Amino acid sequence: MTFDYIIVGAGSAGCVLANRLTENADAHVLLLEAGGPDRKQEIHVPVAFGKLFKTPLDWAYHTEEQPQMNNRRLYWPRGKMLGGSSSMNAMVYMRGHRSDYDEWRAFGLEGWGYDDVLPYFRKAENQERGASAYHGANGPLCVSDLRSVSPLTRAFVTAGTETGLPINEDFNGAEQEGVGLCQVTQRRGKRHSAAAAYLKPALRRPNLSVFTHAHVTRVLIESARAVGVEFIRDGRKEQARARGEVILSGGAINSPQLLILSGVGPADHLRALGIPVVADLPGVGHNLQDHLFVAVAYECLRPISLAAAESKRNILKYLLFRKGPLTSNVAEGAAFVKTDNALPAPDLQFHFGPTYYIEHGFVQPEGHGFSIGPVLIRPKSRGSICLRSSDPLEPPLIQPNYFEAEADLRTLVAGVKLARRMARAKAFDAYRGDERFPGADAQSDEALTEFVRNTAETLYHPVGTCKMGADETAVVDARLRVRGVENLRVVDASAMPVIVGGNTNAPTIMIAEKGADLIMSER
């Protein structure tokens, strides 16, 4: 089997690439996905995504023990299906702050400043509100307002204004700070994943081949040139050859894992695993960054939370009209706040949900509740991905080093205090019951710090492990080409040199849109 391009991973980036590269009828593309199709109903009903966790559609990773989190091992869900994590995320459409991309450009990454990447955000977007200077209306990805906003979420927005935050009707517009409702990647009340937006329309093209349940085990590299991939499908090893390029789009965990398995990475690590060194790139797997969040949760005095989302009445409302609580993305409201006015951009994001945010939804206390979740969006801690062995089917070792930088812990404690202020605002008086977490007894900074150590979880945004740059730790250059190996690129969230201040799905799609242009410009 020989193709012009082989794309590894049918997640957010891979689906974009499969669509854009096959717009050229002369380009024959193979897309390989380790997981299966995206047929399961819980993928498409927005509120149900938590039911996909720890199923065959989830890689279900765990970190190493975190010394600064009382040696907890954190669960990291990642989508293992067409659409990848865009098929099981909370659908929040958020781009980050203008300064995020200008910082990338300041690293010497020409073409990655905010003014450079805005056209790619607009190109991707089919904005329900119409086109504007900041938004596109003709792209594949539907970006919509929530169809049925909880009264609890509206109370959160009002509470934010009562604590001094401005209303923000567009977090992806001129300003990021403030409080408001999230926009979501939905189409008429259903999830609009990268698979639905980009891959499904491209499947009609004869120059696109898609193999599911195809686990890529290594990139075939000859004379420092990528020439294909080896993968396991139906229990058998197979190979596919590339006339043009091999493009890794496995994300911040799988892309560095595959590079190392292929002999591209830190030489000492490769030798320890018995893997021949093809290219000594010490940065592969390093620079891991993620957003942590913690939940401040309250009992709700009225039966209006998502605990009742699956009532017969709500199921009927969804089936007939695609409205009601089943269209909720769970994280309906948001706020962006600076803990210090001297900061150039917000360092805290808040996600509000008309439900309990506890252990990824696996724990649901009796009755109704709501949660305000402060998110650390500018972490200073850095971690790594490396291999336990040369077995490509063994999960890699994930060490995020959460709270290695003490400033990260202090910022989240400040977020808990601000979340409490919002919860005590007048807007919540009709709804607010007892504080379940941290609880009335946790008042001192020491108690709140321990609460954060014991309960903080990932917000599912790992990035940075194949970072763009020009220094000795960079893995790819500004054109996303792997250093030291021809015809090999990494196009996904792992290329981010610094994590963006907001949810990472929209930026990943942007990276792939720009990456497709870079690839085709060299054809």
pLDDT at 523: 77
Residue 428 pLDDT > 90, yes or no? yes
Tell me the three state secondary structure of residue 154.
helix
pLDDT at 364: 86
pLDDT at 333: 98
Using one digit for the tens of pLDDT, what is the confidence trace for 306-343? 999 999 999 999 999 999 999 999 999 999 999 999 99
SS (H, E, C) 23-57: CCCCCCEEEECCCECCCCHHHHCHHHHHHHCCCCC
pLDDT grade, residue 292 (50/70/90)? very high
CA gap 87, 196 in Å, rounded: 9
Percent of the chain topping pLDDT 70:
100
Percent of the chain topping pLDDT 90:
98
User: Are the beta carbons of 485 and 476 closer than 8 angstroms?
Assistant: no
Is 461 part of the annotated catalytic residue set?
yes
Mean pLDDT over 81-105 rounds to 98
CB burial of residue 238 (10 Å; 0-12, 13-18, 19+): middle
Using one digit for the tens of pLDDT, what is the confidence trace for 65-74? 999 999 999 9
Specify the pTM: 0.97
Using one digit for the tens of pLDDT, what is the confidence trace for 116-126? 999 999 999 99
pLDDT grade, residue 281 (50/70/90)? very high
pLDDT at 152: 98
Phi–psi pair at 119, nearest 5 degrees: -60, -30
Of 250, 260, 220, 216, nearest in space to 397 by CA: 260
β-partners of residue 75 are 62
Please name each of the domains of the chain with its CATH number. Answer: 1-96+190-288+463-523 (3.50.50.60), 147-181+292-376+403-455 (3.30.410.40)
Residue 27 pLDDT > 80, yes or no? yes
pLDDT grade, residue 46 (50/70/90)? very high
Of 186, 257, 178, nearest in space to 215 by CA: 257
Catalytic residue among 269, 291, 351, 461: 461
Mean pLDDT over 29-55 rounds to 97
Structure tokens at 377: 């969006």
Residue 436 pLDDT > 90, yes or no? yes
Work out the number of other CB atoms within 10 angstroms of the CB of residue 357: 25
CA gap 6, 22 in Å, rounded: 12
CA gap 62, 56 in Å, rounded: 15
CA gap 288, 486 in Å, rounded: 25
Using one digit for the tens of pLDDT, what is the confidence trace for 147-180? 999 999 999 999 999 999 999 999 999 999 999 9
pLDDT grade, residue 484 (50/70/90)? very high
Using one digit for the tens of pLDDT, what is the confidence trace for 209-239? 999 999 999 999 999 999 999 999 999 999 9
Work out the number of other CB atoms within 10 angstroms of the CB of residue 62: 12
pLDDT at 15: 98
User: Are the beta carbons of 18 and 202 closer than 8 angstroms?
Assistant: yes
Lowest mean pLDDT, pick from 80-84, 115-119, 318-322, 492-496: 318-322
Tell me the three state secondary structure of residue 145.
strand
Q: ∠ at Cα 509 (325, 290), nearest 5°?
A: 80
Using one digit for the tens of pLDDT, what is the confidence trace for 345-382? 999 999 999 999 999 999 889 999 999 999 999 999 99
